[in-house]
Amino acid sequence: MKTVRIFAVALLIVASGSALRVAHSQQTAIKRTELQRHDLSIPGREAIQVRGDFPPGAAVPRHTHPGEEIVYVLEGTLEFQLEGQPPVTLKPGEVLFVPAGTIHTAKNVSGGNSAVLSTYIVEKGKPLLTLVQ
């Protein structure tokens, strides 16, 4: 009987820890809203505009795009790390250009929410984002 109680308590502890991890990951999920997508006059290219909303502490893992990204910070403070360059911290109204294929990350370093408007000029038909190890 004592073994059953110990097992039940251990199971509750593990379940509680898992629930906290799920809740934390849900809180830090970045919400992406595609605003528009259009073919360009350049064959095989399209423009995609996305709003990204970052809760406090949320980060995008290392990734690349099949074209250029132009970032405009709408609110909060974000830190961008482009491979081979020092980190850049941007506030509302500031911009960043990410060259095609450049490995980069972004993290909300403000105490509140942050948001960006990203415009991508990319190869049509390719995934917009490719994660990099």
41 burial level (CB within 10 Å; 0-12, 13-18, 19+):
exposed
Per-residue pLDDT at 1: 55
pLDDT digits (tens, 9 = 90+) for 66-102: 999 999 999 999 999 999 999 999 999 999 999 999 9
Domain boundaries, the chain: 30-131
Domain 30-131 carries which CATH code?
Answer: 2.60.120.10
Amino acid at site 127 = P
pLDDT in tens, 103-117: 999 999 999 999 999
This model's pTM is above 0.85: no
Q: Are 48 and 120 in contact (CB under 8 A)?
A: yes
Nearest alpha carbon to residue 64 among 132, 126, 133: 132
On whether the CB atoms of residues 47 and 120 are closer than 8 A, the answer is: yes
